[in-house]
């Protein structure tokens, strides 16, 4: 399956993920709350997942440095990063955002799980598009991709 570019740098992907961010926030704020049963377990799990997401996101952003871009197409001066958190996962920023969205959904509203699931699908497709561009740009990307099996979160395929 050929995944569309959605713009020269992938601007359409960023627009779609931004719309889902708004959908997640709106669902969390305006959606129905969770039932009272298992509240403390759900809250603790949601907070822990969200904090793990922040850690993964920050580590990924810091690891990219000047190569950081919201677009799937790497910038001209980007370099391939394979150290730090990138030794464990290929897309830690996406993984961090997914965990933050999931944690928020578990804290605030079950309705937010729907746009969170859509965000996961979007990041799966966007990361595939991004990886095709990284393969074109960096000769060592295929070796890196084979070595680092996990796409978003360490331990999860």
Question: For the segment 59-74, what is each residue's pLDDT rounded down to a tens digit?
Answer: 999 999 999 999 999 9
Domain that holds residue 139: 38-147
Average pLDDT along the chain:
95
- Report if residue 25 sits inside a domain: no
Assess if residue 102 is contained within a domain: yes
Domain membership flag for residue 130: yes
The pLDDT-based confidence of 1 (bands split at 50, 70, 90) is confident
In a domain, 4, yes or no: no
Task: Flag whether 138 is in a domain.
Answer: yes
Asked if residue 21 lies in contact with residue 76, where contact means CB atoms within 8 angstroms, the answer is no
Q: What is the pLDDT of residue 37?
A: 79
Number of domains in the chain: 1
For residue 53, give the nearest of 83, 91, 19, 18 by alpha carbon.
Answer: 91
What pLDDT does 81 receive?
Answer: 95
**Mean local confidence (pLDDT), 32-57:** 94
User: Could you tell me the CA-to-CA distances from 151 to 19, 82, 83 in Å, in that order?
Assistant: 23, 13, 15
Residue 51 has pLDDT above 90, yes or no: yes
Q: Give the range among 48-62, 64-78, 97-111 with minimum mean pLDDT.
A: 64-78
Query: What pLDDT score was predicted for residue 38?
Result: 74
């Amino acid at each position: 399956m050929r995944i569309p570019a959605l713009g020269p740098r992938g601007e359409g992907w960023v627009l779609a993920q931004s719309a889902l961010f708004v959908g997640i926030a709106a669902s969390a704020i305006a959606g129905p709350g969770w039932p009272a049963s298992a509240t403390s377990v759900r809250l603790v799990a949601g907070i822990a997942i969200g904090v793990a997401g922040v850690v993964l996101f920050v580590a990924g952003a810091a690891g990219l440095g000047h190569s950081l871009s919201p677009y799937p197409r790497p910038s001209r001066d980007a370099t391939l990063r394979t150290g730090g958190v990138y030794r464990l996962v290929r897309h830690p920023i996406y993984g961090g955002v997914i965990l933050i969205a999931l944690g928020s959904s578990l804290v605030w509203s079950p309705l937010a799980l729907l746009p969170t699931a859509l965000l996961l699908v979007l990041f799966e497709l966007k990361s595939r598009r991004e990886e095709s561009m990284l393969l074109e740009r960096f000769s060592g990307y295929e070796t890196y991709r084979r070595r680092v099996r996990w796409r978003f979160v360490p331990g999860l395929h």
